[in-house]
């Protein structure tokens, strides 16, 4: 049986957040809703041949998904850690939604080298501690506005997702669904941040984060061991997916998409791909968080940005990371073609009411669950 241990979030920082909001009444809810980690008991020297640790983010109620993830784990003889995701109905999500609303009442002025800050607006600049080696808390509360005594609204209006550093549309009702900041997206951000903070403060050199709706190539271990030595020493994040000929881009050039609507083969491979093996490319704008690897340094850099207001919880986390990659804040690389894909066979926990989620769907050559389903149906 898995061993349950508490998620290693800095309690002091969470308490500071609650003090800032004046929401002491919600502390019991936080204690009961605290993420839990469940360690599997399979012994494996290295996760997929390259990682010291693998984490799977999964809602506790999704027994169907954990059952399928166990099939993958046992098939590849892996050891990984299940992290209970934060449900969107948890009161903590309401706190964060309220904070986002209040922060946006003081929109930041994006400062450039040739700009002068406006006196009536909060200037926005990226954190200066991205390279710090000190232990990092879950929350960065110092620059947050004073919110003591502000009550939680019983009904929060839909919020627009931010784009770029911090650009927000004026009318959320006219935006497409993927640009609406929902409680599910805020909860998803929080769940990933919990794991990233643990990795940032660990001694592990490489860690992999997975979501629970994925399938893997049966020979993923061989692919990763073949391409991993090609990575530069200063890499931050590697997306374990890429181009798929099953998903052509509409238009005359018939280019192929990977990583959920991004052509990750736009840049040449770091080294020519060997026969039958995937290649690794400098990332363009990968927009999925179902499978990615982090170096310890990369986890620290990512945490510093994702916890930093007002960027924190400003949009879907995959859109946030994609922007950090596009804008050069992260040193990111993508594996092409996909070695891990989203299955899109069960109801999405993030795009609520949208069935299995977005129309994006990638394919594998010899997916573990894909092959099991084929054999069971024959």
Residue 19 has pLDDT above 60, yes or no: no
Mean pLDDT of 162-173: 87
Residue 78 lies in a domain: yes
Are 318 and 287 in contact by the 8 Å Cβ rule? The answer is yes
Tell me the per-residue pLDDT of 301-351, one tens digit each, with 9 for 90 and over.
999 999 988 899 999 999 999 999 999 999 999 999 889 999 877 565 555
For residue 52, what pLDDT is reported? 96
Residue 253 lies in a domain: yes
Residue 276 lies in a domain: yes
For residue 309, what pLDDT is reported? 84
Residue 8 lies in a domain: yes
For residue 137, what pLDDT is reported? 78
Residue 193 has pLDDT above 90, yes or no: yes
Residue 312 lies in a domain: yes
Percentage of the chain modeled with pLDDT above 90: 47
For residue 139, what pLDDT is reported? 63
| Domain, as residue range, for 356 | 3-110+124-146+157-377
Q: Give the pLDDT band (50/70/90) at residue 107.
A: low
Q: Is 232 exposed, middle or buried (0-12, 13-18, 19+ CB in 10 A)?
A: exposed
The count of structural domains within the chain is 1
pTM of the predicted model, to two decimals?
0.81
Among 79-88, 149-158, 324-333, 342-351, the least confident range: 149-158
Mean pLDDT of 149-153: 51
Residue 151 lies in a domain: no
Residue 354 has pLDDT above 90, yes or no: no
For residue 155, what pLDDT is reported? 58
For residue 73, what pLDDT is reported? 96
55: left (phi over 0), alpha (psi -120 to 50) or beta: beta
Residue 119 lies in a domain: no
Residue 360 lies in a domain: yes
Percentage of the chain modeled with pLDDT above 70: 68
Tell me the per-residue pLDDT of 269-291, one tens digit each, with 9 for 90 and over.
998 877 778 899 999 989 889 99
């Amino acid at each position: 049986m898995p061993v349950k241990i508490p998620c290693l979030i800095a309690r002091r920082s969470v308490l500071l957040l609650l003090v800032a909001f004046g929401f002491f009444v919600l502390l019991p809810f936080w204690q009961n809703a605290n993420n839990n980690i469940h360690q599997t008991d399979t012994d494996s020297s290295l996760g997929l041949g390259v990682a010291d640790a693998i984490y799977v983010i999964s809602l506790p109620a999704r027994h169907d998904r954990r059952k399928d993830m166990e099939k993958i784990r046992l098939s590849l003889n892996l050891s990984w850690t299940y992290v209970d995701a934060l449900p969107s109905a948890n009161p903590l999500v309401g706190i964060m939604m309220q904070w986002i609303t209040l922060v946006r009442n003081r929109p930041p002025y994006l400062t450039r080298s040739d700009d002068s800050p406006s006196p009536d607006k909060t200037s926005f600049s990226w954190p200066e501690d991205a390279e710090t080696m000190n232990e990092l808390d879950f929350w960065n509360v110092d620059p947050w506005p004073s919110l003591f005594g502000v009550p939680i609204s019983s009904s929060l209006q839909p919020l627009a997702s931010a784009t770029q550093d911090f650009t927000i549309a004026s009318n959320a009702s006219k935006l497409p669904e993927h640009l609406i900041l929902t409680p599910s997206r805020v909860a998803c951000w929080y769940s990933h941040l919990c794991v990233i903070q643990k990795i940032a403060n660990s001694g592990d050199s490489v860690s992999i984060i997975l979501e629970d709706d994925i399938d893997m190539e049966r020979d993923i271990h061989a692919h990763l061991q073949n391409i991993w030595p090609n990575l530069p020493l200063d890499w931050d994040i590697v997306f374990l997916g890429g181009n798929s000929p099953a998903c052509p881009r509409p238009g005359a050039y018939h280019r192929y998409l990977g990583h959920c609507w991004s052509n990750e083969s736009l840049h040449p491979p770091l080294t020519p791909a060997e026969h039958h093996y995937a290649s690794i490319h400098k990332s363009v704008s990968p927009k999925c968080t179902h499978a990615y690897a982090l170096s310890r340094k990369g986890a620290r850099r990512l945490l510093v940005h994702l916890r930093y207001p007002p960027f924190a919880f400003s949009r879907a986390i995959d859109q946030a990371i994609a922007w950090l990659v596009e804008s050069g804040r992260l040193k990111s690389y993508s594996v092409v073609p996909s070695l891990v894909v989203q299955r899109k066979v069960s109801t999405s926990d993030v795009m609520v009411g949208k069935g299995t989620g977005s129309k994006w769907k990638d394919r594998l050559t010899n997916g573990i669950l894909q092959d099991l389903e084929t054999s069971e149906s024959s």
